[in-house]
Each structure stands twice: as structure tokens, then as C-alpha cells.
Amino acid sequence: MTERSLVLVKPDGVERNLVGQILARFEAKGYRLVDLRMLTPERSLLEQHYAEHQGKPFFEPLVEFMMSGPVVAAVVEGHRVIEGLRTIMGPSEPTTAPGGTIRGDLGRDWGASVQKNLVHGSDSPESAEREIGIWFG
Ligand code: UDP
Ligand code: MG
């Protein structure tokens, strides 16, 4: 089976009208969108999604931020898509993310207790299957 990744355009990306630009970069690279939905996630869903970060100082601000408005969830498919999407997204911190990446080109630091960095992509095949189950059942 072709590899799949779970993408989220986070509330800051939706608020700033960047959904199309962000998804367009994945499509332009040649990956395929195979499922798509918009929703405002509840706390219980986010606590599952970010279970690995429970107890860290940014966990509560992260959950509050992700509940603050609609997000776009997508399943993206292609050979080595997980690694490919994370290359296109760039590293977590938008201030130092390289130009040419989504976070580097479109993101910045807003001085908040959580990095509002526009986009999420799964970090391994195991995470992807787990996350796709959470967001798309
Ligand atoms: N995050 C943060 N501060 C940190 C680490 C993470 O605000 O020191 C937030 C940020 O929004 C990040 C998310 O928590 O995207 C999940 O963290 P992770 O390390 O999994 O980063 P990612 O995989 O999104 O690059
Ligand atoms: Mg992560």
C-alpha cells in the first residue's frame, strides 16, 4: 500500500486564509489528497493526537490553540510522503525554519506560549496510521 500521512492546517493557517497555499505545495510536489475535512476539534481528540506531548510545558497551550478555531485535516498519499511532507513543512520553529519551507516562508513567532506554525504532518508510518484513525475514524 502507498504510504499515507495525516496533515493538519492548524487554526492559524485557516485564520490567515492559507489553506489553499499550504495544500497546493503538497499537491505541486506530486502527492495526492485522498481525504479532506474541516472541523473544530474537541479537547479529547487533541489529547489523543498529542498524547506524546502530555506533561510538557507547551501541552496545555498547544491544546488550547488547536481548539481555538477550525482546522483542515487531510490524508495525503505517495511514496515516502511522510518524509517528503516534513521536508516541505520545515522544522517546528518558524523563525529559524529555512526559506522555501511552509513554516519558513509563511510562519513567524508571535510571542505566545505555543508555536503557531501553521501545519502538522505525521512523523512516522506508525504515527500516520494512528493519527488518520483519530481524525478520520
Ligand atoms: N510546540 C511548541 N513548543 C515546543 C515544541 C512544540 O509550541 O517547544 C508545538 C508546536 O506547535 C509543534 C507542536 O507543539 O508543532 C508539536 O510538537 P512537535 O515536536 O511534534 O513538532 P512538529 O512535529 O509539529 O514539528
Ligand atoms: Mg510532531
Q: What is the mean pLDDT of residues 44-62?
A: 98
Outline where DSSP puts E strands in 46-100: 71-77
Name all domains of the chain by residue range, CATH numbers in brackets: 2-136 (3.30.70.141)
Residue 1 has pLDDT above 90, yes or no: no
- Chain segment 102-132, per-residue pLDDT in tens: 999 999 999 999 999 999 999 999 999 999 9
H/E stretch holding 111 reads none
Q: CA nearest 26: which of 96, 106, 119, 104?
A: 119
H/E stretch holding 105 reads helix 102-106
Cα separation of 136 and 41, whole Å?
12
Best of 10, 56, 62, 63 for a ligand 1 pocket test (most atoms within 8 Å of beta carbon): 62
Q: How far is the CA of 89 from the centre of ligand 2 (A)?
A: 12
Q: Would you please indicate which residues are annotated as catalytic (active-site) residues? A: 120
H/E stretch holding 51 reads none
Which residues are placed with Cβ below 5 angstroms of ligand 2, an ion? 123
For the entire predicted model, the pTM comes to 0.98
Given this model, what pLDDT does residue 120 score?
99
Q: Which residue is closest in CA terms to ligand 1's atom 18?
A: 92
Q: Which residue has the cell 473544530?
A: 40
